[in-house]
Amino acid sequence: MLDLQKYSCLGAALRDALDRFSGETCLIEADREREKTRLTYSDFKDVSLPLARALEDADFDPGDRAAILMTNQSKWLISAYAIFYCGGVLVPLDYKLTAPEQLQLLAHSNAKVLVVEYHLWRAIMQAPEFQNIKTKLVLVTEAPVRADLAGGFRWEDFKRKGAPDFVMRQREDAACIVYSSGTGGRPKGCVLTHENYLEQCRALTAWYPFWPGVRYLSILPTNHAIDFMVGFIGPFVCGACVVHLRTLRPEFVRDAFVRYRITYVALVPMIVKNLERGLRAKFDELPSWKRALLNRTIAINRLLTRKQPRIGLSRALLPQVHRAFGGELLALITGGAFMEPSTMQFFYDLGIPVVNGYGLTEAGTALTLNDLKPFRADTVGKPLPGVELRVLSPNEEGIGEVAARSKTVMSHYLDDAELTLETIVDGWLLTGDLGRFDNSGHLQLFGRKKNMIVTEGGKNIYPEDIETVFDGLPVKEYCVFAANYVWRQKELGQEMLVLVLRLDQNQKFDSALLAELVKRNRQLPDFKRLGGYLVWEKDFPRTASMKIKRLALAEEIRKSIERSAVVAL
């Protein structure tokens, strides 16, 4: 791989990678069973530089921001490289947000350019907020012939001949603005520098290297910190290959493992559990004698790999299982949300290590990772090289808020000095997560100090961000909480959002109100929906400026109502 210490920016590292690994395959894109694109590093350079030149000619200057709003595909990475080549700052936006939310973040980031897939652009054009869009240049991919692009240009046609000028950036310059949340009013745009990414990449590849021939299956959205690092920067600076799949249908995901002989894949817990369910169903179909034999083989594998993974041995012991994953899988990387230890153990016992880690957008990609020496399903691993972690104000059990100091910690929140000062104190990033270290230096997490949830799909949801959907609800007042914030737990998991309602005097909770609640809830994307509601009998405590005192309210509720009183929605 490239020696990243020598580089001052991502653009320079990627540029050298394209030359150094020119003959290697860098990208494969498949849609269901159809392969659509296959590019070598040399091909990648040939398609991205004309785009960079066209951007430069369109007055896209160093330091300007360009947003990408696309599902996982080759044009995402090609566009990102062209943006870095021009010295631009990349704003990866989440395609799963609603169009008004995307427009809000686009405006907040002040992006001069937007690269967007046609179906997403169509939804944006239909949003009422579209009339206020200020983005100067919009490049739309895969638009049908004669489609109305509302002033946008076809990405496929937006290219110019002639070599673009490469713009060198410094390590402290912003590379990306990544939104960790904030669609409800206070956007949290994490400004991550070139140094953040270069150091994160060095740390990750020190433990889990890529090399030419490695094939990484990109399933997590590329706007997500994990896939951006292990599905783009990491593989590219090592000459490896990224496989994009245009569908998340489990059937085609399973097929891709075999078709492309995948080496690594990063998954959120929801997908890992789906794979587990599929395997268990297959095991259950086996005749009893075969099932007994399988169970015995799994037990032997577990015994022989208890100190460290022995992939070759596991493949020999359980060939059918490993063939179903393509036969070359080295590990499933997981993160972004709580992962049940039993699921990790299930895969490890089959000889497929699950590499569990912990991180947050504010700290790049990962702060800790399991090194598999030995495999541990009960922790989120050890701090990566260069990462300092400490537990603040630990209680008698050693549990306290985890704070991090590292070259991978973001520079600041975009346009929010106050929040930055609250979050990065004396150089330490306050994570809001509660944890402790065990005797072997592994970090164990025990819940959250902050009012938020992380879904199994790896999405951070802040209650404040969804409350606007309930504006005008015919009640006196309401407030949304993360259930685990109100009823503190010593473990992660079982996360849900709860709406607390204060009814008007003499008002009854009737079927009309319930129907309205259900209707509003369904306006939210499925991963943001409330899990239940609760009727509260007192007025909410408020500040002098009439803001709800959320912590005080949560404490009052905790003292007088059990979690089991929450009514499921």
Partner 1 sequence: MQTAEETLDEILKLAAAHFKVPLEKLHPDNDFFKTLGIDSLQTLDLLTKLENHFRVEIPDYELQGVSDFRTLAGKIQARL
CA-closest candidate to residue 230, choices 262, 260, 254, 269: 262
The span from the CA of 449 to the CA of 357, in Å, is: 19
Query: What x-and-dash track marks residues 61-90 binding partner 1 by CB under 8 A?
Result: ----------x-------------------
Q: State yes or no: cis peptide before 374, omega within 30 of 0.
A: yes
Nearer to partner 1, 343 or 365 (CB): 343
Interior/surface letters 519-548, b for 16+ CB within 10 angstroms, e for the rest:
ebbeebeeebbbbebbbbeeebeeeeeeeb
Q: Which of residues 359-418 bind partner 1 (CB under 8 A)?
A: none
Nearer to partner 1, 496 or 553 (CB): 496
Nearer to partner 1, 47 or 569 (CB): 569
Residues in contact with partner 1, counted by CB under 8 A, come to a total of: 24
567 belongs to the binding site for partner 1 (CB under 8 A): no
The span from the CA of 2 to the CA of 6, in Å, is: 9
Nearer to partner 1, 71 or 460 (CB): 71
Q: Minimum distance between the CB of residue 248 and partner 1, rounded to whole angstroms?
A: 6
Nearer to partner 1, 386 or 525 (CB): 525
146 — phi, psi (to 5°)? Answer: 65, 15
Residue 180: both structure tokens together: 């960790």
Query: What x-and-dash track marks residues 91-110 binding partner 1 by CB under 8 A?
Result: ----xx-x------------
280 belongs to the binding site for partner 1 (CB under 8 A): no
Binding partner 1 by CB under 8 A: which of 14, 175, 271, 369?
271
Q: Is 182 left (phi over 0), alpha (psi -120 to 50) or beta?
A: left
The span from the CA of 181 to the CA of 361, in Å, is: 10
458 HSE (CA, 13 A, CB side): 27
Quick one: which segment of 244-252, 288-296, 410-418, 539-547 binds partner 1 (CB under 8 A)? 244-252
Nearer to partner 1, 20 or 246 (CB): 246
248 belongs to the binding site for partner 1 (CB under 8 A): yes
Q: Minimum distance between the CB of residue 94 and partner 1, rounded to whole angstroms?
A: 12
CA-closest candidate to residue 55, choices 81, 17, 18: 81
The span from the CA of 542 to the CA of 435, in Å, is: 31
453 — phi, psi (to 5°)? Answer: -130, 155
CB distance 456 to 474 below 8 Å: no
119 belongs to the binding site for partner 1 (CB under 8 A): yes
258 belongs to the binding site for partner 1 (CB under 8 A): no
CA-closest candidate to residue 90, choices 1, 4, 196: 196
Helix (H) or strand (E) run with residue 137 in it = strand 137-141
Query: What x-and-dash track marks residues 457-496 binding partner 1 by CB under 8 A?
Result: x---------------------------------------
Nearer to partner 1, 37 or 247 (CB): 247
Nearer to partner 1, 96 or 476 (CB): 96
Q: Minimum distance between the CB of residue 530 and partner 1, rounded to whole angstroms?
A: 11
**Alpha carbon 54 to chain centroid distance?**
30
Strand residue runs (E) in 292-358: 331-334, 354-358
Nearer to partner 1, 425 or 514 (CB): 514
Quick one: which segment of 152-160, 240-248, 312-320, 506-514 binds partner 1 (CB under 8 A)? 240-248
246 belongs to the binding site for partner 1 (CB under 8 A): yes
522 belongs to the binding site for partner 1 (CB under 8 A): yes
In the chain, helix, strand, coil percent, each to 5?
40, 25, 40
Nearer to partner 1, 120 or 399 (CB): 120
Which residues are at the interface with partner 1 (CB under 8 A)?
32, 71, 95-96, 98, 117, 119-120, 246-251, 270-271, 274, 456-457, 522, 525-527, 569
